[in-house]
Amino acid sequence: MRLKTNNVSIELGGRNILEDININVAQGEFVGLIGPNGSGKSTLLKNIYRVLKADTGLIYLDEDNLARQPLKVTAKKMAVVKQFNNFSFDFRVEEIVMMGRAPHKSMFEFENINDYQVIYDSLEKVNMLEYAKRSFSTLSGGEKQRVLLARALAQRTDFLVLDEPTNHLDIRYKLEILDLIKSLDMEVLAAIHDLNLAVSYCDRIYVMKEGKIVAEGNPGQVISEELLKEVYQIEARVRKDTETGQLSIIYLPDHHLKSNTA
Amino acid sequence: MEAGELITKKRNDQIKFKKKLIKEKKVLFAGIFILTVLLLISMILSLLFGPVDITVFETFRVIYHNIFKLFIKSNISLSSGISNDIIWGIRFPRVIMAAVIGMGLSVIGVVMQAMVKNPLANPYTLGVSSGASLGATFAIMIGVGSVFGPHFIGLSAFLGALISSLVVYSIANIGAKSSSIKLLLSGMAVSALCSAFSSFIIFIANDAQGMRTLTFWLMGSLVSATWDNILLPAVILIAGGLYFLSQFRNLNMMLLGDESAITLGSDLNFYRKIYIVITALMTGMVVYVAGTIGFVGLIIPHIVRAVVGTDHKKLIVFSGLTGAIFLIWTDVLARSLLQGTEMPIGIITSLLGAPFFIWILIRKTYGFGGN
C-alpha cells in the first residue's frame, strides 16, 4: 500500500469536517475522490499533503507516518498539483519549475547541471520545453497548469496528489492534462469535480458526503443513479457506451423531468 | 546503427545543453563582476566630492597610503593633516556607510516585498519607521536613554523599530496563521498608533529646539558616520544580506504561497518569524546610524527586478550592489547640491523615489497583492 489514512477526523466549530476517513492507494493505482462541494474532499487532501493537521488519525505514505516526517522528506516522495492561483510577481517558466527542486537542495546549495536536466526533462514531458524562457503570466490557463505539473514532476516523486487542478480549464486541456498524468506511471490520488472525467480516468473511486466516505470501488460498481441521487441530489442516467464500454453520466435537468411526467 | 546514431545525437544534445547553461552562468557572473567594479569605482570617485576641494592626486595618495600603509613620496600630510582628516577620517567611513546602508535597505526591501507578496512594500512597511520615530521622539523630547551615551537617539530609535515590528508580527499571528495581508494591515495599524504617540509627545513637550533635531533626524542623514560607529551596522547588514541570499528558495516560494511551499517542503510560517526578526534588526541598524531614508528599498528592487527577473538568487545580489551604488551617489548629491550646507539624504531619495513610485502605480504591470 502506497498511501493509507487511518481514521482521520477533523472537527471545526462543533461540526465534523472529516469523520473517520480510511482510504488507501495501492501500487499503480489512479484513485479518485468525488463528492459535492463541502463534502470534505479538499480538506482530506490538505491533510494528506500536510497543509492541515487532523485532530485524530494517522496518514501513512510508504508505511511512514507523515506527521513525524520533515516536510522536505515528504516533498521528495509526494508532489501536489493544485488549482492555479495568480502570483503578483512574474517568474519565468523555468524558474517556477526549478522550485520543484527545492526539496532536494540545502540552504547554500545552488542549482547544478543535473537540476537543469531534470527541469528540462519535466518541461519536455508536459510539452512546454520551448516555453522555458517565457514569462509565466503570458501563458494560457492550460499552459500554466502544465507548467505546475512540470514543477511537480521536477520533484521526482512517484506519488502525485491532484487537488482539482483541471477545474477551470477547457475540456480539451482537462483531457490533455489527465491523459498526461495517466501516462506517467505514478500513483495518483485526485479530487475530480467532473464525474464523467472521474469515471474515465480512475481505477478506483471514493465518494464523499458530509465528511464521510459513503461508497468505494471501481467506477462501474460505484457510480449508479441511486448514488448520484443520494449524494448529489440530482437525477441522472448512467449509461455504458456500447462501442467503447465507457461509462457516461447524463444529467437530467428539472424542466426535462417535468415535461416527462406531465 | 540507428541506436548508435541516437546515442551520438543524445550526446550532442547534452553538450549543447551544457554549453548553453555555462553561457548563461557566464553572463550572470559578468553582470555581478561589472556591478562590483562599478561599486568600487563609485566608492573612490565619491571621495572627491565635498565642501572642501581636495585634488584627485591628493585623494588617491591618502587612500593608497591608508589602505596599504605605504608612503608614497614620504609626506607628513599623509598620515595627519587636513587632507587625511577629511578624506580618511570623514569621507571614507561615510562612503562605506552609504554603500552598506544602500545594500541593506535594498535587500530588506526585496525580502519585505516577498514576505507581504506585494511589490509596493518597503523596509518601513511593517511599522518599522514609525516605531523608530517614536523611539527617537522619546529620546529627543523626553531624554529617555540618555544614559546610553552620545548615540542614545539612534539606540532608542533602534529599539522602537525592533519592538514595533515584533508587535506587528505578533498581532498578525493572533488567531489564525499570519498571512501577507494581515501583516500589511497590522503594520498600518501599529504605524498609526506610533505616530499618534509621537505627535502627543511632541505636542506635550512643546520644545522647538528638540523639534528641529527630530525633524532633521527623521529626514535621514549619513553625517554621523565615523570609523567608530560603522562597524556594527556594517557587520549586521552584510551578514543579514548574506543570510537572505542563502534563503533565495524560500523567498521565491513565498510568492507562490504558503500551501504550495509546504508541498515543496518548506514551512514558510516558521521562516517568516526568523525573517521578521532579522529584517527588524537590520532596519533598526539603519535607523540607528542614519535615521529614516525612504524609497531606496522600494525603487531599487523594482528596477533590478525589471532587469534580472523575480528569481531571488539574482534579485538579492543585484539589488544589494545596485542599492549600494545608488546610495553612494545620492549621498554625494546630498553633500554637494547646496552650497555651504548639507541636505538630508532622505529628501533626495524621496524626491527621486516618489515620482518613480507613482510611475509604477500608473504603469501597473504588476499585480497589487491578492489579485
pLDDT tens for residues B297-337?
Answer: 988 998 899 889 999 999 999 999 999 999 999 999 998 88
User: From the list B118, B249, B260, which residue is nearest A105 (CB)?
Assistant: B249
Contact A120 B17 (CB under 8 A): yes
Contact A120 B309 (CB under 8 A): no
Total of domains in chain B = 1
CA separation for the pair A71, B253 (Å, rounded): 14
Handedness of CA A98, A104, A110, A111 (dihedral sign): negative
A239 located within any domain: no
Q: Print the SS3 string covering B278-305.
A: HHHHHHHHHHHHHCCCCCHHHHHHHHHH
Report in angstroms the alpha-carbon separations of A31 from A185, B40, B212, B262: 13, 60, 71, 22
A190 with A72, same domain?
yes
Banded pLDDT at B371 (limits 50, 70, 90)? very low
User: From the list B18, B369, B370, which residue is nearest A113 (CB)?
Assistant: B18
Report in angstroms the alpha-carbon separations of A168 from A141, B288, B292: 8, 51, 47
Interface check for B314 against chain A (CB to CB < 8 A): the answer is no
Given a cut of 60, is residue B85 above it in pLDDT? yes
Total of domains in chain A = 2
Chain A nearest C-alpha distance from B98 (Å): 28
The per-residue pLDDT for range A83-137, each reduced to its tens digit, is: 877 777 889 999 999 999 999 998 878 888 899 999 999 999 998 999 999 999 8
B14 located within any domain: no
Contact B233, B281 (CB under 8 A): no
Residue A46 corresponds to which cell in the numbers above?
490538505
The per-residue pLDDT for range A226-256, each reduced to its tens digit, is: 999 999 999 999 998 888 888 899 998 877 7
A171 located within any domain: yes
B176 located within any domain: yes
B1 located within any domain: no
Given a cut of 80, is residue B79 above it in pLDDT? no
CA separation for the pair B352, B326 (Å, rounded): 11
List, in order, residues 6 or more apart from B149 with CB less than 8 Å away. Answer: none
Given a cut of 70, is residue B356 above it in pLDDT? yes
Residues of chain A found within 8 Å of residue B309, distances taken between Cβ atoms: 90-92, 95
A152 with A164, same domain?
no
Q: Largest Cα–Cα distance of chain B, in whole Å?
A: 94
Q: Print the SS3 string covering A101-128.
A: HHHHCCCCCCCCHHHHHHHHHHHHHCCC
CA separation for the pair B16, B12 (Å, rounded): 6
Burial profile B12-33: b = 16 or more Cβ within 10 angstroms, e = fewer: eeeeeeeeebeeeeeeeeebee
The per-residue pLDDT for range A169-226, each reduced to its tens digit, is: 888 888 988 999 999 889 999 999 889 999 999 999 999 999 999 999 999 999 999 9
CB under 8 A, 24+ apart: contacts of B71-80? none
> Which amino acid is residue B333, in one-letter code?
L
CA separation for the pair A85, A130 (Å, rounded): 23
Which of A120, A139, A156 is the last residue in one of the domains?
A156
Handedness of CA B45, B46, B49, B55 (dihedral sign): negative
CA separation for the pair A3, B247 (Å, rounded): 32
Nearest CA-CA partner of A77 in A85, A69, A88:
A69
Mean pLDDT for all residues in chain A: 90
B289 located within any domain: yes
B56 located within any domain: yes
Domain of residue B323, residue span:
24-363
Given a cut of 80, is residue B180 above it in pLDDT? no
A143 with A183, same domain?
no
- Beta strands at A212-217 and A204-209: parallel, antiparallel or unpaired: antiparallel
Contact A119, B283 (CB under 8 A): no
Banded pLDDT at B370 (limits 50, 70, 90)? very low
List, in order, residues 6 or more apart from A60 with CB less than 8 Å away. Answer: A1, A3, A4, A5, A6, A66
List, in order, residues 6 or more apart from A59 with CB less than 8 Å away. Answer: A3, A4, A5, A6, A8, A47, A48, A65, A66, A67
Contact B288, B154 (CB under 8 A): yes
A55 with A65, same domain?
yes
Chain A nearest C-alpha distance from B266 (Å): 6
Contact A103 B311 (CB under 8 A): no
A2 with A34, same domain?
yes
A261 located within any domain: no
Given a cut of 90, is residue A140 above it in pLDDT? no
pLDDT of B336 reads 86
A33 with A65, same domain?
yes
Nearest CA-CA partner of B319 in B311, B346, B207:
B311
pLDDT of A71 reads 94
A116 with A181, same domain?
no
Contact A72 B265 (CB under 8 A): yes
CA separation for the pair B370, A177 (Å, rounded): 27
Chain A nearest C-alpha distance from B323 (Å): 20
CA separation for the pair A86, A213 (Å, rounded): 32
A128 located within any domain: yes
Chain B nearest C-alpha distance from A236 (Å): 36
Given a cut of 90, is residue A81 above it in pLDDT? yes
CA separation for the pair B172, B25 (Å, rounded): 40
Task: Name the residue with higher pLDDT: B84 or B366.
Answer: B84
CA separation for the pair A225, A227 (Å, rounded): 5
Contact A152, A98 (CB under 8 A): no
Domain of residue A122, residue span:
87-156
8-state DSSP, A73: H
pLDDT of A1 reads 82
Which of A138, A156, A174 is the last residue in one of the domains?
A156
A42 with A140, same domain?
no
B7 located within any domain: no
A253 located within any domain: no
A111 located within any domain: yes
In chain A, pLDDT over 90 holds for what percent of residues? 65
Domain at A64, CATH number: 3.40.50.300
Length of chain A: 262
A150 with A170, same domain?
no
A117 with A162, same domain?
no
pLDDT of B364 reads 58
Banded pLDDT at B367 (limits 50, 70, 90)? very low
Domain at B107, CATH number: 1.10.3470.10
CA separation for the pair A239, A232 (Å, rounded): 18
Q: Which helix (H) or strand (E) holds A226?
A: helix A225-232
Which of A126, A156, A186 is the last residue in one of the domains?
A156
A24 with A152, same domain?
no
Mean pLDDT for all residues in chain B: 84
The average pLDDT across B120-136 equals: 81
A104 located within any domain: yes
Contact A95 B310 (CB under 8 A): yes
CA separation for the pair B204, B237 (Å, rounded): 36
A140 with A206, same domain?
no
Contact A73 B265 (CB under 8 A): yes
Residue B218 corresponds to which cell in the numbers above?
527623521
End-to-end Cα distance, chain A? 52
Interface check for B117 against chain A (CB to CB < 8 A): the answer is yes
The per-residue pLDDT for range B211-249, each reduced to its tens digit, is: 887 887 778 888 888 888 888 889 999 999 999 999 999
- DSSP E strands in B210-315: the ranges are none
